[in-house]
């Protein structure tokens, strides 16, 4: 796939800018119809697209078929969210002549699309985080045109998916600039720094995401940029949980490390426990996981290097040694590797043992008996997308203060805190939070999964003392969209002087 | 006031970091009590503080007394907001075994404080945007410690206000690091790039705000930064409105330009109308506005320069020529200046005529009879905090498509669109939006006035499958805080397949 040429890119940017007013003016109903039609188009083309994806990414058919289904559901979920109007955040302050500071005007605030958004697609989810993925769904749901910078790992799939989208967009009468696909690093950089692009989103490496975030921030007119980067996803397992269900924990752990060959941003990179013995024993009894292809030669090489370096560290013992096999063209095939190490060893080699290795590798770290897991996490980890704790049924029924401390430290470090489940598998739902403190994301006040992701591409505008006919529909008294309006009535606020808590 | 020394600053940063967990753990009730006690403390010290403020800023007593009242109400409004829990954005997705993609876990999401925030105080609101101002109120309401970098225009007032706050904080048993004041440009820069500071806010000039935003973005771990910068605040007056009430429009316009000597970020910088004659005539008949002192020597010099350059432009005619008088120590005294110019002249000298002049100066621009105001605004202006339209009663009853276009262009350009009122005077209420596209703010997805401002200092965290005892109170089924919980029930979402809009 050749890179998008400068003139072609300029045409794409012009088309996106031209499409912006039409999309902004489209009713929620029309936007929802578009999202649903895109979901249908994707599902209909599923067989054709998964064949291309399997060839380009090496991901298995079951995984890819599931991912197409997830991606279609995701588009429908955003359609549902658009229809409820919740993301508009409509607030109405009634005029209040007797407000504490004198006359308060009629003020009505909702959110409008920011304009064209550039989305850098991910390599590891050729559907769910690519051309018709979660970012695109939330960008279109917000009413913004989207330009997808295709990932070089699946260019043919990106164009084929883009063609499906373009067909649907044309059929529904939306402008061609609604969704466009571009290729090549330079095209991405030029587009990100073009005045017509009003926000950026990205899923990928910390280095790549940071470089783009810096470009977005340095523009003459800076724009919001949402980069979802790497993550270690620490897991703590209490001794009581190990005593209760070591085999179940071991198989859950291995499945979470091995799934999609560990090429998931929520793969558990480190599992900490004071009693690793029973988990290690159970792990070594599990059936061998079949070989899985890695996404590309660059990921393969980086995985090979880190894994080799890690296996030669003093104090690191393989529990499941796994394998890596590299073909002449650089294609890598792997089975998962899980190693054990003491906390002291992890602390001595944190760059290798307590940082992300992209691929099916994880570290089972032994906590000293007296160690406080909360303090260890506090010392060892920066921001992560997730943090997980496995506890026993007794601990669940009556969690002690050490678990409360642990939950608090995880909430400080992560966007999602999980109990007794595994971090891989990210539900697409209203309360999802996929984004954590740096270096997990460039902007931890937002999520890139779930319906709250829409708000990244909206900005608030208030209307003061406006005629009803000039208000956005969601702010009118008639409320034809039937959306929730948070209303501050005259006489309600601060009329009793100080609130008395 | 001497600058905060490096060791003193380090102690301030350490105290803020130490206070963060206490503030984060404080109940909404405790946070509200703190805000109310601060409001009381400020009101009680009002006379003493306004005397210092009058001396340092030259702002009039009525204005300063009003500002203290506004600032106290603002603190109370944030207390009220904390008590309702709305800013927590609590969402609960019930576990749903029959979700479209298979088992959906129990997911509960709310918002937690980001940690210590550095606020750069403004010069022009020594109370409302300074030590106990809107930013501080929203930072404390969010549960974050605040470090206020005092504005050099009112250092004594900043310390006196800080002392009032410290007394209240100690009385209520909050840690001393809850609110601290530092002085000096270097201290601000060092603090902003210190790892213990987790977000920044600023009100001031475009150049200053941009430099700080760039520093925040370039940190090893970047942080959110909210800069409220300059703004032109265009006003359009229809010919019908002029015909209906030119004298009323003229006096409203002059009051909005002259208030606080025009040193307000929402001062109308340009008024566009096709029929300026009656407004100009009415303006020249208005009584002379008394002399008002400018905030400082730097503002005085910059105002003097821009005003002089503007008055000598060909095609610029003074309607109210105004005055500027500068004392030997650089203190400036001014009366408002309003000039008229054709649209062609404004277009030819946009740097002077269509950009912000901080001080009591505004341009009455004559639109050609055939000009479409929406197209002119589109061509002439970048982002502004506000955009205003004055229309006639007839137009209000039945606004035509040209007014709809005008409202749309203003909503694209501004954070607040105002009809038949003036942009100065910013209500502190839930639906307020004080923030617009660059260069009005560095981040137009947020507001710096009104209760929505809290969300700048919060980040979402989701809890998956957590024991009730380990959830934040707002996410528990018992809901002891009685906050609004947006609930997605099992069986409600996507169960009918595609939503049918």
Q: pLDDT (tens digit, 9 = 90+) per residue, B429-443?
A: 999 999 999 999 999
Q: Which two tokens stand for residue A208?
A: 């790549």
Beginning with the edge strand found earlier in the chain, give each strand of the sheet holding A225-228 in spatial order: A179-182, A146-149, A117-120, A199-203, A225-228
Q: Verify whether the Cβ–Cβ distance A433 to B109 is below 8 Å.
A: yes
Domain A26-229+446-458 classification at class level:
alpha beta
Confidence of residue B495 (pLDDT cuts 50, 70, 90): very low
Q: Would you call B430 and A93 a contact, using CB atoms and an 8 Å cutoff?
A: yes
CA gap A312, A320 in Å, rounded:
15
Closest residue in A to B103 (Cα–Cα): A427
Tell me whether A375 touches chain B (CB under 8 Å): no
pLDDT at residue A102, rounded to an integer: 81
CA distance A158 to chain B (A): 24
- The tally of CA atoms less than 13 A away on the side-chain side of residue B367 is 21
The pLDDT of residue A412 is above 60: yes
Question: Could you tell me the strand order of the sheet in which A292-293 lies?
Answer: A292-293, A332-335, A323-326
| Domain range summary for chain A, segments of one domain joined by + | 26-229+446-458, 235-419
B470 vs A439: CB contact, 8 Å cut-off? Answer: no
Q: What percent of chain A has pLDDT over 90?
A: 93
How sure is the predictor about B493, in pLDDT bands with cuts at 50, 70 and 90? low
| Contacts of A67 by beta carbon, 8 Å cutoff, 6+ apart | A59, A125, A126, A127, A128
The C-alpha atoms of residue A108 and residue A476 are separated, in whole angstroms, by 9
* pLDDT given at position B86: 85
List Cα–Cα distances, B378 to B138, B373, B387, in angstroms.
33, 8, 12
Helices B61-84 and B28-44, axial angle in degrees (round to 10): 170
CB pairs under 8 A between A and B: 273
pLDDT of residue B102: 81
CB of B378 less than 8 A from some CB of A: no
CA neighbours within 13 Å on the CB side: how many for A241?
Answer: 25
- CB contact under 8 Å between A217 and B214, yes or no, is yes
Q: Which of B149, B116, B106, B132 has its CA nearest to residue B41?
A: B132
Question: What distance in Å separates the CA atoms of residue A402 and residue A414, rounded to the nearest whole number?
Answer: 18
Confidence of residue A496 (pLDDT cuts 50, 70, 90): very low
Lookup: tokens for A122: 């991910």
Residue A312: is the preceding peptide bond cis (ω within 30°)?
no
In percent, the amount of chain A with pLDDT more than 70 equals: 98
Contact yes or no for B445 and A459 at CB 8 A? yes
- Predicted confidence (pLDDT) per residue in B304-325, tens digit: 999 999 999 999 999 999 999 9
Going by their DSSP bridges, the two strands B235-237 and B225-228 should be labelled as unpaired
Q: Would the CB atoms of A214 and B217 count as touching at under 8 Å?
A: yes
Of the candidates A423, A350, A424, A421, the one whose C-alpha atom is nearest the C-alpha of residue A380 is A350
Contact A499 B421 (CB under 8 A): no
Chain A residue numbers with beta carbons less than 8 Å from the beta carbon of B229 are none
Sheet holding A361-366: strands in order across?
A317-320, A337-342, A361-366, A270-273, A235-237, A384-390, A414-419, B458-464, B107-113, B91-93, B486-488
Q: How confident is the model at residue B272 (pLDDT cuts 50, 70, 90)?
A: very high
* Yes or no, beta carbons of B467 and A419 under 8 Å apart: yes
Q: How confident is the model at residue A494 (pLDDT cuts 50, 70, 90)?
A: low
Residue A501, min C-alpha distance to chain B (Å): 5
CA distance linking residue A12 with residue A32, whole number of Å: 24
Residues of B in contact with A483 (CB under 8 A): none
In whole numbers, what is the pLDDT of chain B averaged over residues?
95
B311 CB burial (10 A radius; 0-12, 13-18, 19+)? middle
Query: A35: which residues sit within 8 A by CB, 6+ positions away?
Result: A75, A76, A78, A79, A82, A137, A140, A141
Residue B499 pLDDT exceeds 80: no
Which of A270, A282, A269, A276 has the alpha carbon at shortest distance from A239? A276
pLDDT recorded at residue A100 = 80
Q: Is the pLDDT of residue A1 over 80?
A: no
Active site residues of B: 228, 265
Of A33, A221, A421, the CB nearest to B105: A421
Eight-state DSSP code of residue A173? T
pLDDT at A150 over 80: yes
- Distance, CA of A433 to CA of B464 (rounded, Å): 10
How much is the pLDDT for A495? 43
Look at A427 and B104 and tell me if their CB atoms are within 8 Å. Answer: yes
Instruction: Give the helix/strand (H/E) hosting B118.
Output: strand B117-120
> Does A55 or B499 have the greater pLDDT score?
A55
Question: Which pLDDT band holds residue A170 (cuts at 50, 70, 90)?
Answer: very high
* A133 contact partners, CB below 8 Å, separation of at least 6: A71, A74, A121, A122, A125, A127
State yes or no: pLDDT of B213 exceeds 60: yes
Show which of residues 396-415 on chain B sit within 8 Å of chain A, judged by CB atoms: 396-399, 403-404, 407, 411, 414-415
SS3 A77: helix
The CATH fold of domain A235-419: Aldehyde Dehydrogenase; Chain A, domain 2 (3.40.309)
Contact criterion met (CB < 8 Å) for B429 and A396:
no
Measured between CA atoms, the residue of chain B closest to residue A101 is B70
Q: Tally Cβ neighbours within 10 Å of residue A489.
A: 10
For residue B176, give how far its alpha carbon lies from the nearest alpha carbon of chain A (Å): 22
Residues 413-472 of A with CB under 8 A from B: 414-421, 427-433, 435, 437-439, 442-447, 452, 455, 458-467, 469-470
Instruction: Compute CA A330 distance to the chain's CA centroid, rounded to the nearest angstrom.
Output: 28
Whole-angstrom Cα distance, residue A236 to residue A365?
Answer: 10
pLDDT digits (tens, 9 = 90+) for B80-100: 999 988 899 999 999 998 888
CA angle in degrees (0–180, nearest 5) for A248-A253-A255: 95
* DSSP calls for B234-295: -EEE-HHHHHHHHHHHHHHHHHHHHGGGG-STT---EEEES--HHHHHHHHHSPPPPPEE-S
Q: Which among B415, B488, B498 has the least Cβ separation from residue A431?
A: B488
Digit-coded pLDDT (tens) for B313-369: 999 999 999 999 999 999 999 999 999 999 999 999 999 999 999 999 999 999 999
CA-based angle A149:A152:A153, to the nearest 5? 125
Å from A332 to nearest chain B CA?
Answer: 30
Residue A275, pLDDT score: 98
State the pLDDT confidence band at B1, using cuts at 50, 70 and 90: low
CA dihedral A70, A74, A79, A82 (to 10 degrees): 160
- Give A389's strand partners: A236, A419
Q: How far apart are CA A372 and CA A359, in angstroms?
A: 29
Among A109, A398, A501, the residue with its CB nearest the CB of B433 is A109
pLDDT, average across residues A109-113: 98
For A212-228, the pLDDT digits (tens) are 999 999 999 999 999 99
Instruction: Find out whether the peptide bond into B439 is cis, omega within 30 degrees of 0.
Output: yes
B36 touches chain A (CB under 8 A): yes
SS3 of residue B77 by DSSP: helix
From chain A residues 128-187, the ones with a CB under 8 A of any chain B CB are none
Q: How many residues are present in chain A? A: 501
Partners of residue B339 on adjacent β-strands = B318, B363
Q: Residue A258 has what pLDDT? A: 97
Q: Tell me, what's the pLDDT at A99?
A: 84
| Nearest CB to B462 within list A415, A428, A469 | A415
* Nearest chain B CA: its distance from A183 CA (Å): 27
CA distance B185 to chain A (A): 22
The residues of A annotated as belonging to the active site are: 228, 265
Mean pLDDT of the A355-382 span: 95
Cβ of A93 within 8 Å of Cβ of B432? The answer is: yes
CATH entry 3.40.605.10 includes domain B6-229+446-458: yes
Phi/psi for B296 (5° steps) reads -165, 175
3-class state of residue A254 by DSSP: helix
Beta carbons within 8 Å of B37's beta carbon, 6+ residues apart: B168, B171, B172
Q: Do B498 and A100 touch (CB under 8 A)?
A: no
What would the two tokens of residue A490 be? 């005259």
Beta bridge partner(s), residue B387: B417
pLDDT tens, A439-493?
A: 999 999 999 999 999 999 999 999 999 999 999 999 999 999 999 999 998 877 6
Q: What is the pLDDT of residue B98?
A: 84
Among A17, A64, A204, A56, residue whose Cα is nearest residue A120: A204
* A76/B100 touch (CB, cutoff 8 Å), yes or no: yes
Distance CA A334, CA A317 (A): 19
By the 10 Å C-beta count (0-12 exposed, 13-18 middle, 19+ buried), A398 is classed as exposed
| pLDDT beyond 50 at A416 | yes
- For residue A285, give how far its alpha carbon lies from the nearest alpha carbon of chain B (Å): 28
Confidence of residue A185 (pLDDT cuts 50, 70, 90): very high
B360, B207 contact by CB (below 8 A): no
Burial code (b: 16+ CB inside 10 Å, e: under 16) for B287-298 equals: eebeebbbbbee
Query: Phi and psi for B310 in degrees, rounded to 5?
Result: -70, -40
Residues of chain A contacting B419 with CB distance shorter than 8 Å: 463-467, 470
């Amino acid at each position: 796939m050749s890179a998008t040429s400068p003139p072609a890119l300029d045409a794409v940017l012009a088309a996106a800018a031209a499409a912006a007013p039409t999309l902004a003016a489209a009713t929620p109903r029309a936007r929802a119809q578009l999202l649903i039609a895109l979901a249908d188009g994707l599902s209909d083309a599923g067989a054709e697209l998964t064949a291309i994806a399997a060839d380009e990414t090496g991901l298995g058919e079951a995984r890819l078929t599931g991912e197409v289904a997830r991606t279609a559901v995701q588009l429908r979920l955003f359609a549902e969210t658009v229809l409820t109007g919740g993301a508009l955040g409509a607030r109405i302050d009634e005029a209040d002549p007797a407000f504490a500071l004198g006359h308060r005007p009629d003020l009505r605030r909702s959110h409008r699309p920011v304009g064209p958004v550039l989305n850098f697609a991910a390599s590891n989810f050729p559907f769910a985080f690519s051309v018709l993925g979660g970012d695109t769904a939330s960008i279109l749901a917000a009413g913004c045109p989207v330009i997808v910078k295709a990932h070089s790992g699946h260019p043919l799939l990106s164009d084929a998916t883009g063609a499906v989208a373009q067909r649907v967009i044309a059929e529904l009468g939306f402008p061609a600039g609604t969704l466009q696909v571009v290729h090549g690093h330079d095209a991405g950089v030029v587009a990100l720094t073009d005045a017509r692009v009003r926000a950026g989103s990205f899923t990928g490496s910390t280095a790549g995401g940071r470089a783009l975030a810096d470009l977005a921030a340095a523009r003459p007119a800076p724009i919001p940029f949402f980069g979802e980067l790497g993550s270690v996803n620490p897991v703590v397992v209490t001794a009581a949980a190990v005593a209760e269900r070591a085999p179940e924990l071991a198989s859950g752990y291995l499945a979470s490390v091995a799934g999609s060959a560990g090429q998931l941003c929520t793969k558990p990179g480190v599992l900490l426990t004071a009693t690793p013995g029973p988990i290690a024993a159970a792990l070594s009894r599990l059936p061998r996981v079949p070989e899985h292809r890695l996404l590309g030669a660059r990921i393969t090489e980086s995985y090979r290097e880190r894994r080799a370096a890690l296996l030669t560290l003093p104090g690191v013992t393989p529990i499941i040694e796994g394998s890596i096999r590299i073909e002449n063209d650089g294609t890598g095939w792997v089975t998962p590797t899980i190693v054990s190490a003491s906390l002291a060893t992890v602390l001595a080699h944190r760059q290798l043992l307590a940082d992300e290795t992209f691929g099916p590798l994880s570290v089972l770290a032994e906590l000293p008996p007296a160690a406080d897991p909360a303090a260890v996490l506090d010392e060892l980890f920066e921001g992560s997308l997730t943090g997980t704790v496995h506890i026993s049924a007794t601990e669940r029924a009556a969690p002690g203060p050490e678990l409360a401390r642990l939950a608090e430290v995880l909430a400080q470090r992560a966007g999602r805190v999980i109990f007794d489940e595994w971090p891989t598998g990210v539900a697409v739902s209203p309360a999802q939070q996929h984004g954590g403190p740096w270096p997990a994301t460039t902007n931890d006040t937002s999520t890139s999964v779930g319906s709250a992701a829409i708000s990244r591409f909206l900005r608030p505008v208030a209307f003061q003392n406006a005629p009803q006919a000039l208000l956005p529909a969601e702010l009118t008294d008639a409320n034809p969209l039937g959306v929730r309006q948070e209303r501050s009535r005259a006489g309600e606020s601060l009329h009793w002087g100080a609130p008395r808590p």
